[in-house]
């Protein structure tokens, strides 16, 4: 396997598989996280955790799993989760055990007993606040999904006040009706009392990007961080790890995987996007249409982003230098970015001056994440 990657100044970044020269081989994208070996022990991981995982079910359908659990000297307790298997939404409870952490690699394994049966995961320790996890059960023998994702440390107690202020949500999905790749982003204002206003949002349906009108929703947060939105159609449920930050999954027909992050640093302008931004695409939604990429972008704080990058798609691998995009950012953090000579602009959502999203107007409804 050959990988292409970009790194930030802290040694973190994003990567893609970069060896599919014919467009008929393997493709994928993900994150690079710099590990801290001082965290390679079971005792250092005690506390609450929230995970968000996505991938494919045993028949190739999109599968999303988000959950929360407590960890005490290797014992997993009080676990609860929300899953969406190709449009089939369910909740679960679970318990389990975490094995000893390898002091050299930071690898450990988890065995989970839930109302859905037994499952096993490989876990790699990044720090005392972050893990990455992959389900390792056999699809052929157990009919298990293939999932991978992040596990982040959770704060102690939650209420409706844990959602208060501005946040950016973004999601990926496969439409259960049409089969189209679909993604979206939104800016949400929560009042801390169970009311949320979706100030602006965009839906990318296989490359057709549509800005949606503002809307209102309500939400409920329980003490363990479980959050449920109501109002609208395919509303999400999931778990907060801290203030205005959560992993969520849709509770309707489409298996949307949501990230929710606090929006900071506004009001925004073109000057908010300035400096060097390593970036790359989120994990692909399907194989046929997937185009994965990593980029190193330089924004001038005026209106120009210059990109160097690598991509892998059905057309093979590609590399570029000095590609220019012109951007325009509104004060709420939503904006556009369009390559010179391009027909359709992509949509920018600023999470902060250090992190922003780019919704691509392409068939695979790709979402790229850029971060200092």
Could you give the 3-state DSSP secondary structure of residue 38? helix
Q: What gap in Å lies between CA 270 and CA 313, rounded to an integer?
A: 31
**Residue 139 sits in the same domain as residue 44:** yes
- Rg, C-alpha atoms of the chain: 20
**Residue 41 sits in the same domain as residue 123:** yes
Which of 227, 262, 297 is the C-terminal boundary of a domain? Answer: 262
Which of 214, 246, 262 is the C-terminal boundary of a domain? Answer: 262
Q: 9: domain CATH number? A: 2.40.128
**Residue 318 sits in the same domain as residue 282:** yes
pTM of the model: 0.94
**Residue 284 sits in the same domain as residue 329:** yes
Q: What gap in Å lies between CA 157 and CA 176, rounded to an integer?
A: 35
Q: What gap in Å lies between CA 147 and CA 145, rounded to an integer?
A: 6
CB of 51 within 8 A of CB of 247?
yes
Q: What gap in Å lies between CA 370 and CA 366, rounded to an integer?
A: 13
- DSSP per residue, 218-256: EEEE-TT-EEEEESSSS-EEEEEEETTEEEEEESSSS--
CB of 217 within 8 A of CB of 234?
no
Which of 154, 179, 203 is the C-terminal boundary of a domain? Answer: 154
Find the domain containing 188 and state its range. Answer: 160-262
φ, ψ (nearest 5 deg) of residue 333: 100, -5
Q: 47: domain CATH number? A: 2.40.128.120
Reading the chain (372 residues) residue by residue, the pLDDT tens digits are 999 999 998 999 999 999 999 999 999 999 999 999 999 999 999 999 999 999 998 888 899 999 999 999 999 999 999 999 988 999 999 999 999 999 999 999 999 998 878 899 999 999 999 999 999 988 766 778 899 999 999 998 899 999 999 999 999 998 877 889 999 999 999 999 999 999 999 999 999 999 999 999 999 999 999 999 997 667 899 999 999 999 999 988 889 999 999 999 999 999 999 999 999 999 999 888 889 999 999 999 999 999 999 999 999 999 999 999 999 999 999 999 998 877 789 999 999 999 999 999 999 999 999 999
């Amino acid at each position: 396997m050959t990988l292409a990657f970009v790194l930030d100044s802290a040694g973190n970044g994003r990567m893609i598989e970069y060896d599919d020269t014919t467009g008929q081989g393997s493709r994928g994208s993900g994150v690079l996280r710099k590990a801290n070996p001082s965290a390679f022990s079971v005792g250092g991981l005690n506390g609450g955790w929230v995970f968000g995982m996505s991938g494919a079910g045993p028949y190739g359908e999109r599968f999303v799993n988000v959950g929360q659990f407590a960890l005490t000297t290797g014992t997993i307790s009080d676990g609860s989760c929300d899953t969406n298997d190709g449009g089939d939404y369910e909740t679960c409870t679970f318990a389990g055990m975490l094995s000893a952490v390898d002091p050299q690699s930071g690898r450990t394994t988890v065995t989970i007993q839930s109302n859905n049966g037994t499952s096993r995961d490989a876990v790699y320790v990044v720090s005392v606040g972050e893990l990455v996890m992959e389900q390792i059960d056999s699809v052929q023998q157990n009919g298990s999904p293939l999932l991978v994702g992040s596990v982040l440390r959770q704060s102690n107690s939650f209420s409706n006040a844990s959602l208060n202020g501005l946040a950016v949500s973004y999601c990926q999905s496969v439409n259960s009706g049409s089969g189209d790749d679909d993604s979206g982003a939104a800016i949400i204002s929560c009042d801390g009392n169970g009311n949320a206003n979706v100030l602006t949002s965009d839906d990318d349906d296989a490359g057709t990007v549509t800005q949606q009108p503002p809307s209102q929703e309500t939400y409920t947060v329980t003490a363990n961080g479980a959050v449920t939105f109501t109002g609208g159609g395919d509303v999400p449920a999931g778990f907060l790890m801290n203030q205005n930050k959560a992993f969520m999954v849709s509770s309707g027909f489409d298996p949307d995987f949501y990230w929710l992050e606090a929006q900071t640093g506004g009001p925004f302008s073109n000057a908010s996007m300035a400096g060097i931004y390593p970036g790359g695409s989120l994990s692909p939604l399907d194989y046929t249409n997937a185009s994965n990429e990593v980029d190193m972008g330089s924004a001038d704080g005026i209106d120009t982003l210059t990109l160097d990058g690598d991509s892998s798609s059905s057309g093979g691998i590609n590399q570029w230098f000095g590609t220019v995009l012109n951007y325009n950012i509104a004060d709420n953090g939503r904006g556009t970015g369009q390559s010179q000579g391009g027909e359709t602009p992509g949509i920018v959502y600023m999470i902060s001056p250090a992190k922003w999203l780019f919704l691509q107007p392409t068939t695979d409804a790709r979402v790229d994440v850029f971060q200092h």
